[in-house]
């Protein structure tokens, strides 16, 4: 099937099998390796990307469903010219990264949630920030510093 979509600001048209998962389109076809395969069953959140403003597990999403949509992956947050996005800066500053395998997913979830909160003029409570990250597993950090980083995104 032919699909047309935007990824990290760039328009792309691709011929794909109907069974192709979005994570495989991103990693194997488009070679964007920053999106991580943690479980391929929607439990760990490592493969989180943003589609039209919503954080989704790319392992549970068929590639054909991105037709006409806009995807942002971790690579879309910083580039050769632009510096790191605030969510990324805060993650480093607060020590939220150890092995880093969950980090892309944590950042994409935080980005989607904070974009929504900021658009609505809301500063979420710490519990709300925690809740937003509940679908992302991490085995290294114990989450505290990741939550700290996600909260710090709202600082001016």
Partner 1 sequence: MMKKELKVIGKSTKKLDGKARVSGQAVYGHDIELPNMLHGSILRTKYPCAEIISIDTSKAEVFEGVECVITANDIDVNNISYKRDHPILKKGTVNCNRDEIAAVAARNKEIADKAIQLIEVKYKVKDGIYDPFEALKDDAPRVNEFGKGAEKFGNKNIAESFHYEHGDLEGQKAKSKVIIKKSYELPRVTHACMATSNITADFNQLDGRLTLWSSTQVPFLYQRDIAHALKMAPSLIRVIQPIIGGGFGSKLDMHPFEPICALLSIKSGKPVQILFSREEEFILSPTRQPMVIELTTGADENGKFTFREVEIIKDNGAYTSWGATTPFVMMQTYSSLYQVPACKFDSHAIYTNNPFAGSFRGYGNPQATFSIETNIDLMAEELGMDKGEIRLINANYKGEITGQGLIYKTCGAIPALETVIRKSGFDQIVNEPKTGRYLRGIGLGSMLHVGGGAKIYRSDGCGTILKLDDYGYLTIVTGSNEIGQGSETVLAMIAIEELGIPMDKIKVINTDTDVKPWDVGVHASRTSFVAGNSLLGAIKLLKEKLNSKASELLDIETENWDYMDGKMYFGEFEINLDKVAREIHFGPPHELCTVSYFYEPPSSFQDKEYKGDVSGNYAFASQAIEVEVDTVTGNINVLSVHVSQDVGRVLNPIGLQGQMEGGVATGAGYALTEEMIYEKGMLKNPSFHGYKLLTTTDMPPVHFYPIETYDEAGPYGSKGAGEAPLIPTAAAIANAVSNALGVRFYSLPITAEKVLKALSEKKNELKLERVYFKMSVET
Site for partner 1, rule CB under 8 A? 31-41, 43-44, 46, 73-75, 77-78, 84, 88, 91-95, 97-104, 107, 127, 130-131, 133-147
Between 68 and 100, name the residue whose CB sits nearer to partner 1. Answer: 100
Between 1 and 39, name the residue whose CB sits nearer to partner 1. Answer: 39
Between 5 and 76, name the residue whose CB sits nearer to partner 1. Answer: 76
Show the CA angle centred on residue 108, arms to residues 103 and 110, nearest 5°.
95
- Residues 62, 105, 133, 69, CA torsion sign: negative
Strand partners, 80: none
Question: From the CB of 37, what's the least distance to partner 1, in Å?
Answer: 6
Question: From the CB of 118, what's the least distance to partner 1, in Å?
Answer: 20
**Which position has the token pair 């068929």?**
62
Question: From the CB of 92, what's the least distance to partner 1, in Å?
Answer: 4
How far apart, in whole angstroms, are the C-alpha atoms of residue 17 and residue 122? Answer: 41
Between 104 and 114, name the residue whose CB sits nearer to partner 1. Answer: 104
Residue from 94, 87, 86, 73 nearest 132 by CA: 87
């Amino acid at each position: 099937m032919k699909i047309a979509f935007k990824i990290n600001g760039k328009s792309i048209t691709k011929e794909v099998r109907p069974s192709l998962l979005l994570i495989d389109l991103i990693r194997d076809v488009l070679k964007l390796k920053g999106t991580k395969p943690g479980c391929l069953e929607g439990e760990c959140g490592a493969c989180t990307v943003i589609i039209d403003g919503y954080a989704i597990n790319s392992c549970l999403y068929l590639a054909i469903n991105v037709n006409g949509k806009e995807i942002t992956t971790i690579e879309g947050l910083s580039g050769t010219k632009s510096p790191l996005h605030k969510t990324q800066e805060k993650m480093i500053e607060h020590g939220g990264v150890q092995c880093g395998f969950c980090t892309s997913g944590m950042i994409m979830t935080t980005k989607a949630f904070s974009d929504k909160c900021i658009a609505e003029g809301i500063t979420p409570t710490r519990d709300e920030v925690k809740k937003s990250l509940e679908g992302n597993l991490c085995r290294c950090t114990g989450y505290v510093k990741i939550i700290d980083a996600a909260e710090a995104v709202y600082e001016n």
